[in-house]
Amino acid sequence: MIGHMPRDVAATSRVRPGSRRPGRPRDARADDVIREAAAAVLAECGPGGFTVDAVAAKAGVGKATIYRRWSSRAELLLETVHLATPDIEDPDTGSLREDLIQLTTGMMFKMRDSAAGRMLPAVMAEAAVHPEMRETLTRFVQHRRSRAIQAVLRGIERGELRPDTNPELVVDLLAGPVFVRTMLSHQPIDESVVEAAVDAILAGAG
Amino acid sequence: MIGHMPRDVAATSRVRPGSRRPGRPRDARADDVIREAAAAVLAECGPGGFTVDAVAAKAGVGKATIYRRWSSRAELLLETVHLATPDIEDPDTGSLREDLIQLTTGMMFKMRDSAAGRMLPAVMAEAAVHPEMRETLTRFVQHRRSRAIQAVLRGIERGELRPDTNPELVVDLLAGPVFVRTMLSHQPIDESVVEAAVDAILAGAG
DNA sequence: TGATTTCACTACGGTCACGTATCGAAACTA
DNA sequence: TAGTTTCGATACGTGACCGTAGTGAAATCA
């Protein structure tokens, strides 16, 4: 069982307003440096190559500096995945086509170019084996999906789609080309593919 | 560098018709038992848990029996992936809708229920890091895609789809719900979802 | 029968990563 | 100044796994 983020207790629990703990304070920058290094290592080496030593070397810190903040490799891995997937805001442009293009294009760029996207295969593999990582991944995906589903629902309300349209199916169809090309067939993908996918789907349900 | 299948040299090179090597012959059943165990271990434990000891234990054989047939863990892993993905035949029913439903439903059952499908996340994660596994995965996916693309081309010739339809896009759209649900959102999927996806796509391009 | 090969099992050396401990220096409190 | 905590660096014990080697038994050929 991996602990549920009970990290950094010493740094937060004993802090009373006005009084500080003795000793050298922690370097606040180290947290971000470590997190960025962890994301880079996971993206470059996969889950098998995600070692604490590698993260420490890439971050330029000692291992103790990592273990002072995270209790184990598993916890660092989980938080790395948690934080590497920041939200994209709901575009809500008034046009369903534009909303879907923006959402899907944003996902495409994330998966194709960002460290978060490059670490997704590793996360999926971990999720297939470890329930906690699976929960993390599922929650994140559901959150992202709900964004797109709401855009589709707005399109239905505006009459841009037939009222019997299944929003979940539309979203899953849209994710297909991005997902398949970046992770399976390793074929090139860009905005034009996304636009073609959106238009193909809207042509059927519009 | 992982060797390109130079395995089992002793068992094949010295065999002349009519003459057999001395000594106890290899147990032919052991090959399949090991392969099945390897597939099961990869599916259950992921690439990180894919150890020769685990495969040997699951197969009920000694490690030497494995190393007599495969030169290394990497080679066994590669062949496990190679063989765990048998072809499905081209349906060619005369109806594009029926062809696509059969192809996609077959893929869905493979990914959802078979050992080959359960090991796909592990393979994708390995492919993201190791070029040789990436090549193996890409080749397999391209082969499968070409089946579906040919079905789409037949549909275009028969006039079931507009002539300007992009076959690759149709195939990638179709794969979307299957991959997203089985590997990312972990939502249930069955034949009805596949049928709805096929109909949604055909409605746009028909 | 004797030689040879494979069998399951066990043990071994080597390597690698985890998590801990220690070191001297630095930064802060009392 | 004395005490405490963090810093980067390094070393250590532990355990897991790889790949090899050895054991006695079983199966086959000459």
Q: DSSP for A1-68, please give it.
A: ----S-TTHHHHHT-BTTB--SSPPP-HHHHHHHHHHHHHHHHHHTTTT--HHHHHHHHT--HHHHHT
Q: How far is the CA of B40 from the C1' of D23 (A)?
A: 30
Per residue in A57-105, pLDDT (tens digit) is 999 999 999 999 999 999 999 999 888 776 678 899 999 999 999 999 9
| Res A9 pLDDT > 60 | no
pLDDT value of residue B198: 97
Per residue in A131-155, pLDDT (tens digit) is 888 998 998 899 889 999 999 999 9
B202 close contact with A: CB closer than 8 A: yes
Residue A19's beta-bridge partner residues? A16
A172, A185, A202 ranked by CB distance to B181: nearest:
A172
Residue B19's beta-bridge partner residues? B16
What is the overall mean pLDDT for chain A?
A: 87
Contact A124 B127 (CB under 8 A): no
B166, B185, B197 ranked by CB distance to A173: nearest:
B197
Contact B125 A47 (CB under 8 A): yes
Nucleotide at minimal C1' distance from the B62 CA: C8
Confidence band, pLDDT 50/70/90 cuts, at residue A22: confident
Give chain B's radius of gyration (CA, Å): 21
Q: How far is the CA of B64 from the C1' of D20 (A)?
A: 9
Query: Is residue A178 a contact partner of residue A189, using CB atoms and an 8 Å limit?
Result: yes
pLDDT value of residue B6: 39
